């Protein structure tokens, strides 16, 4: 996400206190390295009589296995945090980190009950000090090399680590930047994440209700809409070399849902950077602007973006700028999260308001 990394769109030693709770079992070598660290290494860590456990979900090429429902989860990105809060799991969370926006409406009280370990990416030691028994993250850049720690490092300490499938399924993260989509993202992948987390935490019915509610919202927002021929361009952040949405991430989900076209559909990069001459040449009908509260890039807020667009000689004569066709979205709505549904709702409503869709 140009949203979750400290730079770009996204964005130690064992704690002195013993880690406790469910255990991730990957390989014998990792189990051996966990021995003596204070972390449990077998099913004896599960509370006696925990029905239906251990449980396993296959996630991003690894099996995530818990021996009991997590009770001290740490979410390393806002996207996974909002899923856990939406599932009513605030009382089972020991911390959150890496925020780009205010928490989703309706979750303010629940969120206030969970410690915030860092506004941006926390250190590995900070996470361990929260004594997690489960870790979740939205991005491989957070839960991987160069991030807080790799999943394998958490596994060595007996901590199950879950990575959002929307950042690995049909996506290549091996290069620089925010990765390349080999297949278009769909909301079914996000719904699968909701179901995975609900299963691991033993709240499957809550998960199914959340998925049903999200599907219903998309259906209502897009019922009868037709924006054929309308071009959209999504600007996440950075006024020097803007991060624009490629064809196939969360903005692709939004664009397809309303039947429009992405002005940057010729690139499969998640968030390619382009020059302003390219932006002006493509002259989209509508500009979808990230309205962020973080402060790691230039032009984070929508107000700063609009100020730039309307004063820059290269962009001020663009169709969308002259006609002030702006749609303001949270960073989370522009990333593969449950709030992508919010993006569908807002873009669909704006297109109707602009007279660009039935």
| pLDDT surpasses 80 at 276 | yes
Average pLDDT over all residues of the chain: 89
Q: What is the mean pLDDT of residues 271-289?
A: 97
| pLDDT surpasses 90 at 96 | yes
* 0.85 surpassed by pTM: yes
DSSP string across 237-259: E-SSS-EE--SSSHHHHHHHHHT
pLDDT band at 10 (very low <50, low <70, confident <90, very high): low
Question: Which one has a higher pLDDT value, 18 or 130?
Answer: 130
DSSP string across 33-55: HHTTTT---SGGGSPTT-TT-SE
Least confident range from 7-16, 106-115, 244-253: namely 7-16
| CATH code reported for the domain at 28-214 | 3.40.50.1980
pLDDT band at 47 (very low <50, low <70, confident <90, very high): low
pLDDT recorded at residue 355: 97
Least confident range from 15-24, 90-99, 158-167, 271-280: namely 15-24
Q: What is the mean pLDDT of residues 74-85?
A: 98
DSSP string across 312-353: -TTTTTSHHHHTT-EEEE-TGGGSSSTTHHHHHHHHHHHHHH
Each as own residue / partner, the long-range contacts of residues 48-57 (CB below 8 Å, 24 or more positions apart, any chain) are 52/202, 53/22, 53/202, 54/22, 55/199, 55/200, 55/202, 57/162, 57/196, 57/199, 57/200
Each as own residue / partner, the long-range contacts of residues 67-71 (CB below 8 Å, 24 or more positions apart, any chain) are 67/22, 67/23, 67/43, 68/21, 68/22, 69/22, 69/200, 69/201, 69/202, 70/21, 70/22, 70/133, 70/134, 70/160, 70/200, 70/201, 71/21, 71/133
CATH architecture of structural domain 225-353: 3-Layer(aba) Sandwich (3.40)
The bridge status of strand 286-290 relative to strand 134-137 is unpaired
| pLDDT surpasses 60 at 179 | yes
| 28-214 and 225-353 share one fold | yes
Q: What is the mean pLDDT of residues 85-109?
A: 97
Q: Is the peptide bond before 54 cis (omega within 30 degrees of 0)?
A: yes
Least confident range from 29-43, 273-287, 324-338: namely 29-43
Q: How far apart are CA 69 and CA 53, in angstroms?
A: 8
Q: What is the mean pLDDT of residues 106-115?
A: 98
The conformational region for residue 146 under phi > 0 = left, psi -120 to 50 = alpha, else beta, is: left
Helix (H/G/I), strand (E/B), else coil: 120: coil
- Of 239, 307, 250, nearest to 276 (Cα)? 239
pLDDT recorded at residue 65: 97
Residues 6+ apart with CB under 8 A from 122: 76, 95, 97, 98, 148
- Of 129, 115, 138, nearest to 18 (Cα)? 129
| pLDDT surpasses 80 at 300 | yes
pLDDT recorded at residue 214: 98
| pLDDT surpasses 60 at 203 | yes
| pLDDT surpasses 50 at 30 | no
pLDDT recorded at residue 56: 97
Q: How far apart are CA 345 and CA 120, in angstroms?
A: 28
pLDDT recorded at residue 9: 61
Q: What is the mean pLDDT of residues 151-173?
A: 97
Quick one: what percent of the chain has pLDDT higher than 90? 83
pLDDT recorded at residue 16: 31
Question: For the chain, what are the domain ranges?
Answer: 28-214, 225-353
Alpha carbons within 13 angstroms on the beta-carbon side of residue 133 total 20
The position carrying tokens 């998960």 is 207
């Amino acid at each position: 996400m140009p949203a979750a990394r400290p730079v770009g769109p996204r964005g130690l030693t064992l704690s002195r206190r013993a880690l406790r709770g469910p255990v991730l079992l990957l390989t014998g070598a990792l189990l051996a390295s966990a021995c003596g660290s204070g972390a449990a290494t077998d099913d004896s860590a599960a509370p006696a009589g925990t029905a239906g456990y251990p449980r396993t979900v296959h996630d991003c090429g690894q099996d995530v296995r818990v021996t009991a429902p997590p009770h001290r989860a740490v979410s390393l990105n806002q996207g996974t945090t909002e899923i856990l809060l939406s599932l009513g799991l605030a009382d089972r969370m020991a911390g959150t980190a890496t925020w780009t926006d205010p928490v989703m409406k309706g979750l303010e009280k629940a969120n206030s009950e969970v410690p915030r370990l860092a506004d941006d990416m926390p250190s590995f030691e900070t996470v361990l000090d929260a004594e997690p028994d489960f870790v979740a993250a939205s991005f491989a850049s957070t839960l991987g090399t160069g991030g807080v720690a790799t999943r394998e490092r958490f596994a060595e300490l007996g901590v199950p680590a879950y990575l959002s499938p929307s950042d690995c399924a049909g996506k290549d993260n091996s290069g620089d930047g925010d990765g390349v989509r080999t297949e278009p993202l769909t909301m079914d992948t996000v719904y699968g994440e909701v179901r995975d987390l609900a299963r691991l935490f033993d709240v499957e019915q809550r998960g199914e209700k959340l998925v049903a509610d999200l599907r219903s919202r998309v259906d209502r927002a897009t019922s009868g809409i037709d924006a054929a021929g309308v071009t959209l361009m999504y600007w996440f952040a950075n006024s020097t070399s803007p991060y624009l949405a490629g064809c196939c991430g969360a903005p692709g989900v939004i664009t397809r849902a309303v039947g429009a076209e992405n002005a940057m559909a010729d690139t499969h990069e998640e968030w390619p950077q382009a020059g302003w001459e390219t932006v002006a040449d493509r002259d989209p009908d509508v500009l979808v602007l990230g309205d962020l509260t973080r402060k790691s890039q230039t032009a984070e807020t929508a107000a700063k973006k609009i100020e730039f667009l309307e004063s820059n000689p290269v962009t001020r004569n663009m169709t969308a700028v002259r006609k002030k066709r702006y749609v303001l979205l949270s960073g989370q709505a522009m990333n593969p999260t449950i709030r992508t549904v919010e993006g569908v709702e807002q873009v669909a409503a704006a297109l109707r308001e602009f007279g660009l869709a039935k």
